[in-house]
Amino acid sequence: MASDTTAATTPTPVRSPRTGLGVLVVLLLAVLVALSLFTGVSDVSPTSVLTGGRDGDAAFLLLVSRIPRTVAVLLVGASMGIAGLIMQMLVRNRFVEPSTTGVSEFAMLGMLVTMVFRPGMAVAGKMCVAAVFGLAGTWVFLRVVRAVPARQLVLVPLVGIMLGGVVGAVTTFFAYRLDLLQSLGQWSQGSFSSVMQGRYELVWIAGAMVVVAWFAADRFSVVGLGEDFATNLGLNYRAVVAVGTVVVAVITAAVLVTAGTVPFLGLVVPNVVSLLIGDNVRRSIPWVAALGALFVVGCDIVSRVVRFPYEIPLSVVVGVVGAALFLWLLLRRGSRAH
């Protein structure tokens, strides 16, 4: 009788809805990764890989092209999502990310500088120059935002878009005058069509920056509460902001030299995660990385099949979907304000 009473009073463990959602995200990501590996013009399928097909060409293409491309897509999606999350914490605004703050445009200006003065520079060197320009762009944006009298929700990204527009116009003007517009366009248009073994490894640096962001996650959460609050808690506000700007600049530069610019990714994904689990950066980072990778892998597959056997740039698909989600977020915030 006592055992029945104990069994009746023992609470039944309840699975959190977030756990089920996390399992669903992982399963979807695994399915999309498998589709990414075997989607393309060339005949690369599980059967052709196992049977050797065409003297092992399928296995060769899988190792040299499909796997590096899929890994690069995953790293770009995860790292750009994290870059957007950190930028939002630093500026304390949910509608900013590297492509809406001028950071991407400054990094592109750095790429133009290397093309003019050091055209034969290695890709790693170009990434370093782009990262330095990205750091400068982040610093300029933070200084401009501090001078904005009203820190309204939509005003800050508008300032960033205008700053990026000015820098982008200057870059385009000099590229046109120096007959480098076509070369610059190859870097500015996001695409993974040329990613293969030996041409994607720098994006692992962006993945390393995600690890840095994970270790500094709690500090970014405090910085997101404001400089006065962070200073009162004994946090070195300027040092944390410096770490955040370095992480954002390096991720932006690594993604730029690997695949080009990927707009709206760092804006949409952190906002969706914020709606799901809140603003705690340490809890958000795994979700942002997973959803960012899921989003980019899905868009990359669409870019390959929508005009099969041709491929449209990934930035076009991400831009269309990201812009629609951005408008939805704006309208949702506006309706909540009223």
The angle subtended at Cα 304 by Cα 329 and Cα 46, nearest 5°, is: 120
Asked if residues 96 and 157 have their Cβ atoms less than 8 Å apart, the reply is yes
Q: Which residue has the higher pLDDT, 14 or 111?
A: 111
Q: Residues 164, 252: contact at Cβ < 8 Å? A: no
pLDDT in tens, 207-221: 898 898 888 888 888
Provide DSSP, 294-322: HHHHHHHHHHHHTTTTS---HHHHHHHHH
DSSP string, 71-119: HHHHHHHHHHHHHHHHHHHHHT-TT--GGGTTHHHHHHHHHHHHHHH-T
The domain segmentation of the chain, as residue ranges, is 95-261, 265-338
Per-residue pLDDT band for 228 (boundaries 50, 70, 90) equals: confident
pLDDT digits (tens, 9 = 90+) for 52-98: 655 557 777 778 888 888 898 899 999 999 998 998 888 888 888 88
User: Which tens digit of pLDDT belongs to each residue from 170-227?
Assistant: 988 998 888 888 877 777 777 777 777 777 788 888 889 889 888 888 888 888 887 7
Q: Are 101 and 137 in contact (CB under 8 A)?
A: yes
pLDDT at 149: 61
Q: How many other C-beta atoms lie within 10 A of the C-beta of residue 31?
A: 12
**How far, in Å, CA of 32 to CA of 10, rounded?**
41
Distances (CA, A) of 118 to 112, 129, 285, 296: 10, 11, 37, 32
pLDDT value of residue 337: 47
Name the fold adopted by 95-261.
ABC transporter involved in vitamin B12 uptake, BtuC (1.10.3470)
